[in-house]
């Protein structure tokens, strides 16, 4: 039985690439979760647990859904297009880490936003795993 230390280099690289693909795909899916917010105020209320009864707030939150949709598509595309991985990892990490810093700095968020925080923690971990693999592969 081969251990990870005895796996031939090409097989090890294949395993690492599959891990990267999985991490980027899952992080991409997490970033696609806000897309239903494009459908209107009721979907935004379900996502974030807040009443979206003011047009400016609806505009901002629906635009947020578009931006996260774009980032989600980039992350999923990068899973299968290695040349996109560096930019996708940087964009994903900047987005998720900045949200976590803001959420923890402001505090007092409701349960639906706490779910977003938890999802972003998972996304950061996935992106960090993919980033370490990519970095080690490029060395």
| Tens of pLDDT, residues 56-74 | 999 999 999 999 999 999 9
**pLDDT, averaged across the chain:** 93
Question: Is the model's pLDDT at 105 over the cut of 90?
Answer: yes
Distance CA 111, CA 25 (A): 26
Question: Is the model's pLDDT at 3 over the cut of 70?
Answer: no
Question: Is the model's pLDDT at 2 over the cut of 80?
Answer: no
Q: Where residue 1 falls among pLDDT bands split at 50, 70, 90? A: very low
Distance CA 132, CA 125 (A): 11
Instruction: Determine, yes or no, domain membership for 3.
Output: no
DSSP the chain: ---GGGS-HHHHHHHHHHHHHHHHHHHHHHHHTTGGGGG-HHHHHHHHSS---SHHHHHHHHHHHHHHHHHHHHHHHHHH-GGGHHHHHHHHHHHHHHHHHHHHHH----HHHHHHHHHHHHHHHHHHHHHHHHHHHH-
Q: Tell me, what's the pLDDT at 9?
A: 66
The pair of three-digit structure tokens given for residue 49, joined into one six-digit string: 């647990």
Q: Tell me, what's the pLDDT at 6?
A: 47
The pair of three-digit structure tokens given for residue 10, joined into one six-digit string: 């090409």
| Tens of pLDDT, residues 11-45 | 888 999 999 999 999 999 999 999 999 999 999 99
What percentage of the chain exceeds 90 in pLDDT? 87
Instruction: Determine, yes or no, domain membership for 67.
Output: yes
Question: Is the model's pLDDT at 85 over the cut of 90?
Answer: yes
Instruction: Determine, yes or no, domain membership for 131.
Output: yes
Q: Where residue 77 falls among pLDDT bands split at 50, 70, 90? A: very high
Residue 69 domain boundaries: 11-138
> How many structural domains comprise the chain?
1
């Amino acid at each position: 039985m081969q251990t990870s230390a005895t796996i031939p280099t090409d097989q090890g690289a294949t395993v690492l690439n599959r891990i990267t693909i999985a991490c980027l795909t899952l992080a991409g899916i997490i970033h696609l979760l806000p897309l239903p917010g494009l459908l209107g105020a009721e979907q935004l209320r379900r996502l974030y647990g807040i009443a979206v009864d003011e047009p400016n707030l609806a505009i901002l939150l629906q635009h947020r859904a578009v931006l996260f949709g774009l980032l989600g598509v980039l992350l999923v595309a990068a899973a299968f297009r290695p040349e996109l991985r560096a930019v996708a990892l940087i964009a994903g990490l900047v987005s998720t880490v900045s949200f976590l810093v803001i959420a923890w700095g402001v505090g007092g968020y409701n349960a639906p936003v706490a779910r977003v925080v938890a999802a972003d923690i998972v996304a950061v971990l996935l992106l960090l795993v993919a980033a370490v693999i990519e970095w080690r592969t490029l060395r």
